[in-house]
Amino acid sequence: MAKKFVNLQNGDRLAYQVYGGGKHTLVLFHGQLVSSWLEGSWRRAIDEADVRCIVFERPGYGDSSVMNITRVGDWIPLFQEAVRQLELHSFDVVGISAGGPYAYATAVGFPELVGRVWLLGGVPAVFRKEIFSLYPPKFQKGYLRLEDQPLSETQEYFENKLAEMKKGLRGEPGGYYENSLNDVSANRCIGPAREGRLHAIPWGFDPFSITQPVTLYYAKGDAMVPYEAAAQMARMLPNAKLITFVESQFRPGVNIHFSSINKGFFSLLKEYPKKPE
């Protein structure tokens, strides 16, 4: 795979990768500690479906410029140029974990283009007290700390975290895991470092004004996105369906957050026709 770029008028750029060549376009927003690289089983599933999947690297990740992002809604004018250059006329969006808010932003910003919205363990609107109050106290303290903590300190935290993850890296050199971690580490980890604070402050648009159908996949027992908060998000959206996974559906000892994302992705692909022979 080779990355491609949307070149912005001010000299910045957005990196992205395209998987599959099907009729139905998906724009996918990655999680906090990954980037535009997709794991092999996901690539194979996309190839079997009649789908073209475009994965953008958000500002600060990988080969995308850092840019001055102060709220999630700043993504909307950036994506306008991507729509023009990639000639996107009709597509669905997928928000994974920390990429969830950007899926909402794209749906709200481009209602005439986005058909369906899929959330896979996506971060809900934690800036709303009805949702934030359903997070455990330690999560609440973490979000509040991010709002005041110097960004450089958060970057240092992620740099140390990524260094430890790279020590335990298994898999082929230059493969999905190594490429992803290198992209997350880019620009002194500014991409993941500022995501938490962007989630916790008002997003700069109203996610509850969304008109498209939204399908949310979440798991009970998820240690990263509390199910109760996700369920409240679903109740507050005007046209939402919540699909719930329970702990008995997963192997003992697995990370429920990531396992439910996998299960949700393969499930949503079944909503699209198979690629013609």
Residue 275 lies in a domain: no
Q: Which domain holds residue 231?
A: 4-269
Residue 92 lies in a domain: yes
Residue 277 lies in a domain: no
Residue 55 φ/ψ region, left for φ over 0, alpha for ψ in the -120 to 50 degree band, beta for the rest: beta
Give the count of domains, the chain.
1
- Note the pTM of the prediction, 2 decimals: 0.96
Question: How high is the pLDDT of residue 227?
Answer: 97
Question: How high is the pLDDT of residue 276?
Answer: 80
Question: How high is the pLDDT of residue 166?
Answer: 86
- The CATH code of the domain that includes 170 is 3.40.50.1820
Burial of 5 (0-12, 13-18, 19+ CB in 10 A): middle
Give the Cα separation of 94 and 215 in Å (integer).
10
Residue ranges, the chain, pLDDT below 70: 1, 170-174
pLDDT in tens, 122-163: 999 999 999 999 999 999 999 999 988 999 999 999 999 999
Residue 167 lies in a domain: yes
Grouping H, G, I as helix, E, B as strand and the rest as coil, residue 20 is coil
